[in-house]
Structure 1
């Protein structure tokens, strides 16, 4: 027959972990071997509806000393579990995925889910003043416990989960006891409280409730005896006296003063629903399309997996402000609370372990019960959040490796993260790129910072200022702060200052509003080869960058240069701006990023290093230019018959383009050709500064 606590779902399968692990399918208890199969199943249950890697299962089963055949033994355990389920009529519960295994668990098929629902209904009743209804729901939740959770399993990973549910049982029981004492059930509770105090002699809150129940039942001497016994136990075991609250209760009982029953309070029942969102942005401006999309994504019902929404883009675009604003708009959709962490991924990334510790405590886990290691923290976090509807806002994520341990259990919660990384390696992620504001919204933000009248007096200069800020909210805020403190400065004069690239980054830095540092923070996290290429490319005055240009200056094959460009684009240090008819991508610098990169190039690139890079570029370009023109006009003169080593190194693809698709190649490079030809003409001028050639070639081209 079906277990005592039937699932409130339409499925025939039910899992119980609030006691010995038990599975029922079609009203029958499934017989499972009393060995590592149970540990494997327990790990899958604590991470239900989520892929669990084989390595994580191995760690739970064997810890630091797995056998050589561990992966094969896990495979066998899973096969036997599937066989047992299939025999009982539960085929297809465990799926094999690319990364491990997944237990597909329908809603309402786990006793911890039923516990949380009944507990929440009890709290709602208590908040509404229905104390009898609250007790009924609390007792129904507590009845789901059939002993110590997962007591038969000897695994640190499982023990952490078991300890959490044991603590949850006691904390909910204490809430229930407070309500019953408030209802005047002193005498009825004495026997239960005596058993609880004997089982948990160091838990002073339970002892205080027993003393209260005895005293209010006119058993003063017994209440004092309970205190003396508790004090002796504490001194003997811990060398400590009872806490101040218990001592105060003891003094009141001795003096015969009135002692009131604990009163359930609304604040107490909502304390474990976190509300960690930062304050909303008071002058948030624009982003109507993004907000409409985020509203739909945050509220959309999904089937399976944890929804991950990523806002990606360079520093300073206002991703964090957008995420916070959208989260506040949607918080009513997440009644179990909102968690928030600044992961500092673009500067000094926090460890997931540090973040999880805070999350677990915010969700009600006592600090002493938070596991010390990351794997057990993540397992406990998924177990606690399974079945909850939480919004988890992770700001400035470095990459998926930092985010993955912070993913909740179940599919009702949503993770919203911001990142300067493209987050392309994140399974199942939905991404949205965030760039600068459009011109109207950028001017509107400036007017909110310095006053609408000031902007209205100089509309053209206002547009020039936000244009020179690259339409980036961070840069506009820094400019607004400067202008706010210069109330008599005309916007036209300020725009003239910004037009000077040598002064622009200084003008767009104000206190913590450091535009240059935010834009290029990711440059400290890329590889040395990527950083050198980025600095060299920043010195070039090319309207767009082709892969062959990167290959030439870095002295690499086209494929290797492409990988470096991919890394720079993923970190928002350059932008992919399209694909030409040759099927090749081209790239651009954001104007402010280029200015900051040139400042860094002055400090980091030597003149000799840059001269060599430019010489390679001139040699490669001169040959390609002549080859393409010769392909279009066989009678053209000036092409060297010697194929430069640099062209050979770049690869056959480039040779094919300039030989057989010359017209398309020249069309693609049309905007770059004047500057490249000017560079070739003036390369006899020695460099004094790394980017001096940029100005010389640009001036030569203009002339």
Structure 2
């Protein structure tokens, strides 16, 4: 990658290649280039470029005009000897920017070196670094561009320059350079008359140079300006400085302090989990992903209560030392009431030192500013409980040094660059160890089999185990086998596995609230029969739709962690199953929501379809040439099912064999169903790890 190219945004936008300035047309080409620079090494969609160039009123030919702009930029670069700088990516463009080829990046690194020298006591060296950084500004950043998206970035860098300049002035005042700084401070106060920090520094420099009258005159002029423009008196700190100068009391120069700089590094991670247990393989995988040269977006996917948040926080604490510019954290509340990205970005920008008044109000400009600020930083960003990829996309940082760790019940497959891993329940040994930490290892030692039964009945979910542990902790004399007998009854289990904020049932069913009515109805109906696995044709029959449509509904249920994929079956389809606690909670909701007649119709249809399919499969084995026209309810499911049952009858019967006892029982129970709960209670009861033969 070439390194003789250099871009400037800390002043008029300028490009040099091999020390020669590239001539660019002063029109929308500059806006396109500026946007690509603020998000260097990231794909910028054509839609965002159009918004930056034209706002809410783009022309019909906007796409073609952007193509022309990019073509002209490439031509200008190639004419100057630079090739391959702008790449076409899916849906947009990417400007490939080597490290150290943007003045804003050089500025940040020089400023950080200055802070390090100041903290080490080398004030002279610190000033040299600060002044070298500030010299990179050659006027107002990107002043020739009028795009709101670019203006937000320009305002940030203008504010950044003043903030760093104030740090530098404090160090120089601490070194006793009062007289040398007076002229510069006067110019700054004239340029920024409402900035009280600068006025205070000028008053200090004048007073320490034995010019008390001039210092008091600066205060009076500042007070008059504030009153006439804002109707406000000077701040308390400036008033106190004024009183000291009047009284002739000694004052000291501002002292650079390590604590002052430390506050600019956010450390927002929640407290680590004190009794975190197991997950060794997952932790090693996360650690490996976060150590990559260009860390991806790492997503931990799993149902509610599986321990994704605790795992993410624990992994983040293990890795935090590698992310020297800090850690950001946000609970996105995706499974309940999702936060708007604007709210999260505002808090992130503020935590990174952006004054509240400089934070844009619209999402596009907030996201642009956030990417510009984070480019070149090493940040670890933890986004907990994301609703979808759309919610996190504006929260992704700029540059290639930061990492993002996301937890979600959604698959996140639509998010570019995401690397995901499914998180399931704890294995038996770790789950028993966690339970022992909650209720005491001596109780586990007395009843080890009962402890393992509790783990199974909790579905190996950390949340359910913690709730069970909390219950047992308040009942220190209750034997574990008695507790097992109690929660083995499905009518009690969900209630017993809720304790305060440890509400297993609510957490498991939260994702169901984001389903469409059709998806939710299918999920509830499928929970009633205790089928060891659910095939596509079963879902199609229960929903009364084709198998293709049922497959799309099943995909949604899997994406929301309400069904699990078991295995790919031998006929090329997929088998699904309920987590034991999810099924119980779904049945509770079904009892409250489903119409008895509607459910009866769906299950009767399942019985009829199953009976015909089984009979047809056996007939196909015994009399291969004798075909029987299928009833409409079967033909509506789809041709694939009929072909499998007819041509591969033995294989179809073998794969459906685990379901046969439940389906036969459902057939027998059909005349006796008078209440919704009877649909479940008349069926065989499956225990963990055991199927009824």
Match of 2:518 in 1: 529
Match of 2:548 in 1: 559
Structure 2 SS opposite 1:545: coil
Structure 1 unpaired stretches of 5+: 1-8
1:172 correspondence with 2:151: no
Shift of 1:520: 1.2
Match of 1:409 in 2: 398
Shift of 1:699: 7.5
Shift of 1:149: 0.1
Match of 1:93 in 2: 85
Structure 1 SS opposite 2:658: coil
Question: In the comparison of the two structures, how many residue pairs are matched?
Answer: 689
Query: Matched residues in 2 for 1:254 and 1:528: separation?
Result: 74
Counterpart among 200, 203, 208 of residue 200 in structure 2: 208
Counterpart among 666, 676, 684 of residue 690 in structure 1: 676
Please say if residues 54 and 99 of structure 1, whose CA atoms lie closer than 8 Å, have aligned partners that are also in contact: yes
Match of 2:212 in 1: 220
Match of 1:478 in 2: 467
Please say if residues 623 and 640 of structure 1, whose CA atoms lie closer than 8 Å, have aligned partners that are also in contact: no
Query: Matched residues in 1 for 2:212 and 2:352: separation?
Result: 38
| Superposition TM-score, scaled by structure 2 size | 0.98
Alignment of 1:95-494 (within 5 A): 95-302=87-294, 307-494=296-483
Deviations 1:121-143 (A, max 9, x none): 11111111111111111111100
Query: Matched residues in 2 for 1:697 and 1:245: separation?
Result: 77
Structure 2 SS opposite 1:672: helix
In structure 2, relative to structure 1, the CA distance for the partners of 1:699 and 1:62 (3 Å cut) is: closer
Deviations 1:496-546 (A, max 9, x none): 111000000000000000001111100000111110000000001100000
Query: Matched residues in 2 for 1:195 and 1:456: separation?
Result: 77
Please say if residues 346 and 398 of structure 1, whose CA atoms lie closer than 8 Å, have aligned partners that are also in contact: yes
Query: Matched residues in 1 for 2:167 and 2:639: separation?
Result: 74
Please say if residues 529 and 683 of structure 2, whose CA atoms lie closer than 8 Å, have aligned partners that are also in contact: no
Please say if residues 602 and 689 of structure 1, whose CA atoms lie closer than 8 Å, have aligned partners that are also in contact: no
1:660 correspondence with 2:658: no
Deviations 1:230-286 (A, max 9, x none): 111111111111111001100100000001000111111111111000001100000
CA RMSD of aligned residues (A): 1.5
Greater mean alpha carbon deviation, residues 98-107 or residues 411-420: 98-107
Shift of 1:641: 3.9
Structure 2 SS opposite 1:45: helix
Shift of 1:702: 7.1
In structure 2, relative to structure 1, the CA distance for the partners of 1:363 and 1:702 (3 Å cut) is: closer
Structure 2 SS opposite 1:650: coil
In structure 2, relative to structure 1, the CA distance for the partners of 1:314 and 1:699 (3 Å cut) is: closer
Query: Matched residues in 2 for 1:270 and 1:114: separation?
Result: 21
In structure 2, relative to structure 1, the CA distance for the partners of 1:605 and 1:196 (3 Å cut) is: same
Query: Matched residues in 1 for 2:18 and 2:547: separation?
Result: 61
Query: Matched residues in 2 for 1:70 and 1:658: separation?
Result: 54
Deviations 1:379-432 (A, max 9, x none): 000000001110000000010000000000011101100000011111121111
Shift of 1:64: 1.2
| Superposition TM-score, scaled by structure 1 size | 0.96
Shift of 1:693: 2.2
Structure 2 unpaired stretches of 5+: none
Shift of 1:294: 1.0
Structure 1 SS opposite 2:328: strand
Structure 1 SS opposite 2:173: helix
Match of 2:661 in 1: 674
Counterpart among 1, 8, 12 of residue 20 in structure 1: 12
Match of 1:43 in 2: 35
